[in-house]
Amino acid sequence: MQAEDLDRVTRASLRTLPDGLAELVARHLAAAALVLPDDPALALAHTQAASRRAGRVAVVREAVGVAAYAAGDYRLALTELRAAARISGSSEYLPMMADCERGLGNPEKALALAGSPEAASLDRAGKVELLIVAAGARRDLGQADAAVLTLQVPALRSRASGEWLARLRYAYADALLEVGRTREARAWFERAAEVDPEGATDAVERRDELDGFTFADEASDADEAQRRRPGGGPPGGRGAGTRIAR
């Protein structure tokens, strides 16, 4: 792997390092990005190697946090994302941090992050991801109806495009299904599928299941783990702004 395999923003963030060190750190981050979808543990090892050499760079700590999250080590992920936020002053890590709290069995702390003043500074996609996590926290607390209400926002009917909209509609459909509103859930799975041409969600399959179809489970163990991860997978599929996921 070469430093050139990283995106431009990440490479720029490493310019404060000596040239040789920057190259080595960049190569670890590029390798982590490559293997993250299939081998989160190896990605975590690469990011930790980068962090041992450049632990004061926000994007490096972010990379460790994202890899730890993907590997299911929510405590480490939360620690690293907090460090990245402290160094950078950015709030973009909030959705993943909140989801880490859910993974650690702390839904109340997830809701506190969702309601924090810092959440107001997130972009639209980030706010939606945090909303999805908050709804998941409500479900963790046995508040299924409150989860539905949490997701009843005007953005559901947005005419915009983007993975965030598919994820919002999908989460709403899933919440409706949990409270027994099957007909409405089917309609929202359909609407999620309409704005999800890349198949970021399995909205089509969920819709067809409700229509009475059955499908052979062809998902890999990694796919299944991804679906069951707190919040329905990494928030937004964006890695909460992570550079290694781009």
- pLDDT grade for 230, boundaries at 50, 70 and 90: very low
pLDDT grade, residue 4 (50/70/90)?
low
Percentage of the residues of the chain whose pLDDT score is greater than 70: 84
pLDDT of residue 7: 76
pLDDT at 98 over 60: yes
* pLDDT surpassing 70 at residue 97: yes
Nearest to 106 by CA among 142, 144, 141: 141
pLDDT at 237: 36
Question: What pTM value is reported for the model?
Answer: 0.83
What is the arithmetic mean of pLDDT over 191-217? Answer: 87
Mean pLDDT rounded to a whole number for the chain: 87
User: Is residue 216's pLDDT more than 70?
Assistant: no
What is the pLDDT at residue 6?
A: 77
What pLDDT does residue 175 have? 97
DSSP codes, 59-127: HHHHHHHHHHHHTT-HHHHHHHHHHHHHHH---TTHHHHHHHHHHTT-HHHHHHHHTSGGGGGS-HHHH
Alpha carbon 131 to its chain's center: 12
Residue 12's pLDDT is 85
Task: Supply the pLDDT for residue 10.
Answer: 86
Distance between CA 103 and CA 140 in Å, rounded?
10
Domains and CATH numbers, the chain: 1-90 (1.25.40.10), 92-219+226-246 (1.25.40.10)
Distance, C-alpha 191 to centroid of its chain: 21
Q: Is 238:245 a contact under the CB 8 Å cutoff?
A: yes
Residue 218 pLDDT: 47
Q: For residue range 68-96, what is the model confidence (pLDDT) as tens digits?
A: 999 999 999 999 999 999 999 999 999 99
| Separation in Å, CA 203 to CA 150, 171, 217 | 20, 10, 15
Lowest mean pLDDT among 88-92, 111-115, 231-235, 236-240: 236-240
Contacts of residue 111, Cβ cutoff 8 Å, sequence gap at least 6:
98, 134, 137, 138
Reply yes or no on whether the pLDDT at 239 is more than 70: no
Cα–Cα distance, 128 to 146 (Å, whole number): 16
Residue 225 has pLDDT above 50, yes or no: no
Give per-residue pLDDT as tens, 129-164: 999 999 999 999 999 999 999 999 999 999 988 899
